[in-house]
Amino acid sequence: MRILGIDPGTATVGYGLIDEKDGQLAVVAYGAISTKPKDGDTARRLQIVYEGLNDLIATFKPDVAAVEELFFGRNTTTAIKVGQARGVILLALANAGIAVAEYSPPKIKESVSGYGNASKQQVQFMVQSILDLEEVPKPDDAADGLAVALTHYQYYRHELLYE
Judge whether 63 counts as a catalytic residue. no
Judge whether 141 counts as a catalytic residue. yes
The active-site residue, picked from 141, 144, 159, 163, is 141
- Judge contact between 6 and 148, C-beta under 8 A: yes
Judge whether 20 counts as a catalytic residue. no
Question: C-alpha angle 61/67/70, rounded to 5°?
Answer: 155
Rounded Cα gap, residues 112 and 126, in angstroms: 6
- The amino acid occupying position 9 is G
- Judge contact between 144 and 68, C-beta under 8 A: yes
Q: Which has the closest alpha carbon to 18: 139, 162, 133? A: 133
Question: C-alpha angle 135/125/144, rounded to 5°?
Answer: 90
The active-site residue, picked from 7, 19, 22, 144, is 7
The active-site residue, picked from 19, 68, 102, 159, is 68
Mind telling me the catalytic residues?
7, 68, 141
